[in-house]
Amino acid sequence: MSDFPRLANLDYLPYLEGGEIANEWQQKIGVYAIFDAENTLQLVDYSRDIYLSLRQHLVRCPAQCHWLKGFMIGRPSRSILEEIRTAWIAENGSTPPGNGAEGDRWHQPIDAKAAMTPEDQQQLAKTDDLGKTKLLKKIARRVEAEILATLAQRGVTMEIRFNPKLKEQGLLDVK
């Protein structure tokens, strides 16, 4: 086992400070653990830029992102990062939802098509490719507005922009 802290020995840090993710995570390599409001572990992951990953997770799973713990390393080493992640998950005693059944929700773009109304589905079925693109973009914008409203309720003040090209496919991902 390498020389890294146990998850239990790290302090809980607020996910948001003044409506933003702390700048100390920007362009930092390391392992992080995300906790919900009740300090229940939701995800253990690693990243070459922890800040960007935390921003993605906040947009995809805002209700689960309240606290975090992290450990930064100086140089990227997938084997060390995976060793720490595995050790922290084992220390937890069970696989967090984001590392198991809910993994796609935490790591994949948001599929706005899941929010289609029956009317949207009927319209999509009887339109041409250009019409489908426009409809998917409209649905993505509707879901985007809901996400931004949820984030605003959480007190998020940092700018969140979504990739416009993905909206045409009915997907939302932070740019």
Q: What is the pLDDT of residue 70?
A: 97
Q: Mean pLDDT in runs of 10 for the chain (175 residues)?
A: 86 96 96 98 97 97 97 93 97 97 96 94 91 95 97 95 95 94
DSSP 109: -
DSSP-derived pairing of the beta strands 110-111 and 67-73: unpaired
The phi, psi pair for 17, rounded to 5°, reads -125, 115
Q: What is the pLDDT of residue 2?
A: 59
Q: What is the pLDDT of residue 137?
A: 95
- Total residues belonging to the chain: 175
Task: For each of the domains in the chain, give its residue range(s) and CATH number, in order of start.
Answer: 7-107 (3.40.1440), 110-172 (no CATH)
Angle between helices 118-125 and 129-153 (to 10 degrees): 160
Q: Distance between CA 142 and CA 68 in Å, rounded?
A: 30
Please give the model's pTM, rounded to 2 decimal places: 0.92
Q: What is the pLDDT of residue 1?
A: 46
Q: Distance between CA 56 and CA 31 in Å, rounded?
A: 15
Q: Which amino acid is at 36?
A: D
Q: What is the pLDDT of residue 159?
A: 94
